[in-house]
Amino acid sequence: MYDIIIIGAGPGGYVAAIRARQLGLKVLLIEKAQVGGTCLNRGCIPTKAYHKDAHFIKDLAKSPQFGVTLSGWQFSLAQAWENKQKVVETLVAGIRRLLQAYGIEVLQAQAGLVDGHTVLADGVQHHGRFILLATGSIPAVLDVPGMDLPGVMNSDEILDLQELPARMVIIGGGVIGLEFASIFQSFGSQVTVIEYLPALLNTLDEELGKRLGVFLKRQGIHVMTSTGVQKIELEKDGLLVKAEGKKGAVQVESDAVLVAAGRLPFTAGLNLDRAGIKTGPKGFVQVDHTYKTSLHNVYAIGDVIGGQMLAHVASEEGIAAVESMAGIRSRSASPLVPSCVFTIPEIASVGLSEQQAKERGMKYRSGKFQFAANGKALTMAESDGVVKVLVDEDDVIIGVHIIGPHASDLIMEGLALMEQGATRGQAVDMIHPHPTLSEALREAILDAGGEAIHLAPARK
């Protein structure tokens, strides 16, 4: 009898397993494929390896600005793929060693529920006081003719490409689609993004999506919003994507099509209905504030429950769920969740967007500062972007939104300030080192009170 049986060894499951062992609990971790889940094997890590390649190529194009003249260079997707695989394999091996060091039993098998205390894995029953579902998500499939044609891929399959397509259509203007758009455009593909909704990155502050759209177009990426794909056809020279846009029918020829239209919970084989676990819209498992499902002693975390489908959210939920099982405390993960988008330039956001503040009827002020006026950004030749800060009527910081160099690193300061309930005044009292990108955040906070030093005053 185990204390906890965890199904799924992604960033939610394996982190939960380690925390459980730290609490002295006996754990069985079941994973049908590789530890690390989607994040490590088919998502966050491999795409960031490609993002580094893409950024390096962008830097090569800027080399004359740094006094460097290149006689020539060429890019190999096959070699980039090999490097990506080495990174993934290194991290997978590291997690396996970590699990072994904690004495966590790992079973590679397909698992399903029998009841609230029993899991069936490859024909063998295993019993536990608690069960934790951490099975993650899978790419959604569009109900569009031609989705099964050769050359039409999801976000898992595109990571196996070793030859660069000359032309690529990406269906979906969300995080996944736009990250791949930046990557493959930098690699040398001619990229077209087709988004059904009127705006890119519609879950983030509206201004971020608008500004990114401008930067993507400047890089040569063709972006079509308010456009729905109707059909994909196979032609002699590749694929033909037929869509309906604001100005009528459009057709785009392509050598590869990436479908990045969201993700759905992975629950195949879990036997949720038979076990009596309730699910909500689109099949996401329903849980309470402690991540307990409708079945006593069964919990669920991560992408399989929906919400913010991010690796770091799954990890925090896994820790919270295990601590609840252990009777330490009953809590949810922090409501302040930073979100990062690894496009070029990067995007990061935490807290309320302007739209959300307006919808809530809040009185707020915004402050902005362009990276074009930041000394460090100029020395890096990365001046595209802006920092935007929102404060409420009590001067408390309620949102930080960044598009620009190292946005994913800078957002942590915004999160730390908001977690402490810092006011604008408290934030600007912190001395920021010079010259750094972080000065742009301080200037944006200052600007929310009309006090920015390196920003010309508005004309009266």
Q: Which residues are catalytic?
A: 434
Q: Which pair of structure tokens corresponds to residue 247?
A: 């100005």
Compute the distance between CA of residue 178 and CA of residue 173 in angstroms, rounded to an integer.
Answer: 6
For 29, the token pair is 């971790």
- CA dist., res. 219 & res. 183, Å (int): 11
Cis peptide before 345 (omega within 30 of 0): yes
3-state secondary structure the chain: CEEEEEECCCCCHHHHHHHHHHCCCCEEEEECCCCCHHHHHHCHHHHHHHHHHHHHHHHHHCHHHHCCCCCCCCCCHHHHHHHHHHHHHHHHHHHHHHHHHCCCEEEECCEEEEECCEEEECCEEEEEEEEEECCCEEECCCCCCCCCCCCEECCCHHHHCCCCCCEEEEECCCHHHHHHHHHHHHHCCEEEEECCCCCCCCCCCHHHHHHHHHHHHHCCCEEECCCEEEEEEEECCEEEEEEEECCEEEEEEECEEEECCCEEECCCCCCHHHHCCCECHHHCECCCCCCECCCCCEEECHHHHCCCCCHHHHHHHHHHHHHHHCCCCCCCCCCCCCEEECCCCEEEEEECCHHHHHHCCCCEEEEEEEHHHCHHHHHCCCCCCEEEEEEECCCEEEEEEEEECCHHHHHHHHHHHHHCCCEHHHHHCCCCCCCCCHHHHHHHHHHCCCCCCCCCCCCC
Question: Which residue(s) pair with 170 in the sheet?
Answer: 193, 258
